[in-house]
Amino acid sequence: MVIELDGTLYQITYFQHVKPGKGGAFVRTKIKSVLTGGVVDKTFRAGEKVQEVRLLRRPMQYSYTDGSLFYFMDMETYEITPLSSDMVGEDQLPYLEENMECEGLTRDGSVLAIELPQFVELAVVETEPGVRGDTAQGATKPARLGPGAIVQVPLFVNEGDVIKVDRNTDKYLERVTR
């Protein structure tokens, strides 16, 4: 759900309804700014009203970067939209790869933000070779992925391998065969 508070759009990422033994009920939330990606803890009292906002999700494809702008193509209208790094989200940039399909959050026909898939498949471009016998403790090593993200991977992962990563936790999930 997306709400508007003080002129800023926020997406609710977590909520908990609390009814203490004494006093009125309230809701604890974690809300994420749609434009900047910053997370804020907010408590709403019983009876407090908020403005719900409807954002449309449109399939988009990342095309290229030119300076500080990132260009995305709407997959339905083939229209190209330039977005700043703030609109893309600093936490998503290390996972953004050319021709990647994602979703554009739009309001009144203009794209406000981009949302990448939670699980992405990217190639390992740099990692140290694994050493035999080091796997007793489930050892890991750092690996740099194509767009620039660095994640911890098992020792058997080599340069050139394609791996699946959970973008929200920066965790290796599995090796992918293509």
| Residue 8, pLDDT above cutoff 90 | no
89 and 106, same structural domain? yes
Listed residues 73, 95, 115: the one ending a domain: 115
**Could you count the other beta carbons within 10 Å of the beta carbon of residue 174?**
11
- Averaged pLDDT for residues 14-22: 89
106 and 67, same structural domain? yes
Give the count of domains, the chain. 3
Q: How do residues 25-42 score in pLDDT, each as one tens digit? A: 999 999 888 777 778 899
Listed residues 33, 50, 67: the one ending a domain: 50
64 and 37, same structural domain? no
CA-based nearest residue to 113, from 7, 29, 37, 30: 37
167 and 150, same structural domain? yes
Q: Write down the pTM of the prediction.
A: 0.73
Q: What is the pLDDT of residue 41?
A: 93
CATH code of 12's domain = 2.30.30.30
61 and 44, same structural domain? no
61 and 103, same structural domain? yes
Domain that holds residue 95: 56-115
What percentage of the chain has pLDDT greater than the value 90?
A: 42
Sequence-distant (≥ 6) Cβ neighbours of residue 85 within 8 angstroms? 68, 70, 93
What HEC string does 61-127 produce?
A: EEEEEECCEEEEEECCCCCEEEEEHHHHCCCCHHHCCCCCEEEEEEECCEEEEEECCCEEEEEEEEE
CATH code of 130's domain = 2.40.50.140
